Amino acid sequence: MDWPTLIVALIVAVLFALVIFFHFRNKKKGKHSCSCGGCSGCAMSDVCHAKKD
């Protein structure tokens, strides 16, 4: 494996890990990842905004 391929693969892996990390951190804080502004008509709103008992 040559160096440029290894560097690009490491950059992609780090970016992927950061996306996963921030997703779970925001989910733990109660934030959601919806960008539609209002999820009342969304078919997945029950998954994104789970009701807390």
- The CA R_g of the chain, rounded to the nearest whole Å, is 17
What is the per-residue pLDDT across 5-23, written as a single tens digit (0 to 9) for each? 999 999 999 999 999 999 8
Predicted pLDDT at 26 = 81
Under 8 Å between Cβ of 32 and 50? no
Sketch the domain layout of the chain as residue ranges: 3-48
Position 23 scores a pLDDT of 86
CA distances from 36 to 15, 26, 33, 52 (A): 24, 17, 9, 22
Neighbouring C-beta atoms of residue 24, cutoff 10 Å: 10
pLDDT tens digits for range 21-33 = 998 888 788 776 6
What is the spatial distance between Cα 21 and Cα 37, in angstroms, rounded to a whole number? Answer: 23
pTM for the model stands at 0.55
